[in-house]
Structure 1
């Protein structure tokens, strides 16, 4: 039985609106007020970290709520307010000295397609745009903002042969050292 992750993936990148959130924008007179994130996705980042897989976001929008959540989750990197996701992806890949095959991207809309075409594995939430659904290697059962990252993390680890219990073992055994944030 496989007990630890030995796969090729070293980085999972997430879009935010429509993936980590349901895509709703809550805008007041002074601009965006808040975003709703799912606690399950916080555990997903900790789960990836427990297996030596980095995580990050590439988001077309920038907001204080997103900055706060990124820090809270201790994501390894964040590119916010990015209109050229492919250029941001190329820079991340270069800085981390990774190959396309070592990177996963999770996106939901047409702006994500160029990156999804490059990475080793691509995922999309169940309610993603039809072009994204057609291109994604895997489509989650979850819709955006409903635990997509958690489903991606579990699926990725299980692709390598880990059973669900083995996937969570490092996180459960050393929960406090990973400082998981829901």
Structure 2
């Protein structure tokens, strides 16, 4: 079962558009790009960080709002405007001394393909493109922006004995 691979995960790498968002971008008259994020994903991200899981965001997006969102959740590794995601991921894996089996990548489209092929666990939202779903070890029941990250992080942390039902009030 794929869930046995979840137990060894130390680092979860996230794409943004199509994974943490529904892939839609609202552009204002001033040219600002606006996205919506699911609060349940935010809760799981900040909780996972507090439980010692390394969360990395690698995205082609260049929005400072995206960076601010993840900084607010405690994510220390956020890379914006990245076209060669594998080079960034490889550097992160070397710096943290992570084996591919310890890394999960959640992606939805072709810019994520190479990274997803090289990590221990590749995950796709339910509405990812077919090529990505075909190489994924796990396809979420959730669509992008609808709790994919929450679903997966909760599974990882439960399998690792780190998901607690204590009363916990996060800043999301």
After TM superposition, the structure 1 = structure 2 runs for residues 11-160 of structure 1, keeping only pairs within 5 Å, are: 11-158=11-158, 160=159
- Once residues 49 and 161 of structure 1 are traced to their aligned partners in structure 2, the CA distance between those partners, rounded to angstroms, is 14
Could you list the structure 1 runs, at least 4 aligned residues long, displaced by more than 3 angstroms after superposition. Answer: none
- Once residues 149 and 7 of structure 1 are traced to their aligned partners in structure 2, the CA distance between those partners, rounded to angstroms, is 16
Question: Aligned-pair distance for 1:138?
Answer: 0.6
Aligned length: 167
Question: Aligned-pair distance for 1:28?
Answer: 2.0
Question: Aligned-pair distance for 1:156?
Answer: 2.1
CA-to-aligned-CA distance 1:98-149 (integer Å, 9 cap, x gap): 1111111100001101000011111110000000111111111110001111
Q: TM-score, normalization: structure 2?
A: 0.89
State the SS of the aligned residue for 2:78. strand
- Once residues 160 and 36 of structure 2 are traced to their aligned partners in structure 1, the CA distance between those partners, rounded to angstroms, is 33
Deviates more, 1:40-49 or 1:132-141: 40-49
- Once residues 64 and 150 of structure 1 are traced to their aligned partners in structure 2, the CA distance between those partners, rounded to angstroms, is 23
- Once residues 80 and 33 of structure 2 are traced to their aligned partners in structure 1, the CA distance between those partners, rounded to angstroms, is 16
Instruction: Point out where structure 2 has 5 or more consecutive residues left out of the alignment.
Output: 1-5
State the SS of the aligned residue for 1:167. coil
- Once residues 160 and 64 of structure 2 are traced to their aligned partners in structure 1, the CA distance between those partners, rounded to angstroms, is 38
CA contact (8 A) 2:9 2:101 kept: yes
Q: TM-score, normalization: structure 1?
A: 0.84
CA contact (8 A) 2:49 2:75 kept: no
Question: Aligned-pair distance for 1:20?
Answer: 0.4
Alignment RMSD: 1.9
